[in-house]
Amino acid sequence: MLVNNAGIQRDVDFTRGIDGYRSGDNEIAINREAPIVFCGMFVPLLNGKLNTSIVNVSSGLGFVPAAPFNQIFARSMK
């Protein structure tokens, strides 16, 4: 069984410009692409086995952001 529960969240204060967003990991790419990459890596291992599954888990923060500076995480999890 593969449980995809990967994701990162960074606080970005856009009132200070775009540099805070550009200086860190690409939050959108990681949150969107990680489940695809992991599925691609594990499907060949799970293929042909009995009782296998892939479960993708998201965050409730995608629907109710925790703070105004967590908007990138919230939008990338929908």
Please tell me the pTM assigned to this model: 0.64
pLDDT tens-digit readout, 39-69:
999 999 999 999 999 998 877 666 666 666 6
Digit-coded pLDDT (tens) for 4-29 = 887 777 778 888 888 877 877 788 88
Identify each DSSP E strand in 1-78 by its residue range: 2-4, 54-56
Which residue in the block uniquely carries the two structure tokens 């409730």?
60
Secondary structure element (H or E) that encloses residue 55, with its range: strand 54-56
Give dist(CA 61, CA 78) in Å, integer.
9
Give the gyration radius of the chain's Cα atoms.
Answer: 15
Tokens, residue 25: 């990991």
